Structure 1
């Protein structure tokens, strides 16, 4: 499946939060993300990602292993995503290191997740803050689709963002990993 996703800066987070709350309740969660690569950086050079994410939320803690392949849509950065739940976070980190992957960056994201249906699709909107970067709020809006449906899905995602008051000029391809690296250099 392809994660057809658009990401944008949110200039009026309170208004967007109210609009999302009118659709559904939020899951408030803190993500602890660790990205891995081979020592030669070959995953990043092929636009691939390997991530171990531990999610702390009101329903407990869970860990997910995610592999994202190279993008299939250049404008949005949408990628095929393969994900599985992991029972033991410490063991997953040890396995990744044991088979030769190295952690390249780790950071925290504070998220409010909203699952809802719009335009005939299941959507997930996530309001994101990365505390060590700046005071910005981002929204990620995604739906899972077959590769043949990516263009239509992205049009629907863009329309839902517009309904939330997010314009095309607010869209960004900025990666959290790059923003955290830049913040740590200053």
Structure 2
């Protein structure tokens, strides 16, 4: 059984149980554990698989898909795999960077994020990232990396949930809206994504 360390409210932690449920991996979760000290960044999630400790959420979900041969989630063909990896990496860099300031200000109400100009700039950049995602979903007609649900849909799906859960005036993106509803047919997404937590 995989042990997941980190609070269930964390967007990065939630990637891991969602991936476990899609793959069929038994897991337990705790807010903390002694293995947390092995992450020099002091961040969550951390997983413990027997004597193996791993941190970084996207590395974790890739590891789980690879170890349990979840080839529908993480293809073995190089180009298909690269497409999945590209969108996972995009979420971690471009997408997250865009929404971080606005989300911290609007939802978390963190006093360190209170500059109105920076909030507006973040909302504008966030909308631009959503426009990129909307165009990609228009091309695939279904999921981020193609017709089938893949590992890329886990981090992207959680970020899309955050978009819909953040109270601000936002443009409508028809393909993103349809994607959100498509993900909502997955029990693991309802449990770990669209569960009332931004």
Instruction: Name the TM tier (shorter chain).
Output: under 0.3
TM-score, scaled relative to structure 1? 0.26
Q: Bigger relative contact order, structure 1 or 2, given CA contacts below 8 A and separation 6+?
A: 1
TM-score, scaled relative to structure 2? 0.25
Q: Which has the higher strand share?
A: 1
Q: Which has the higher helix share?
A: 2
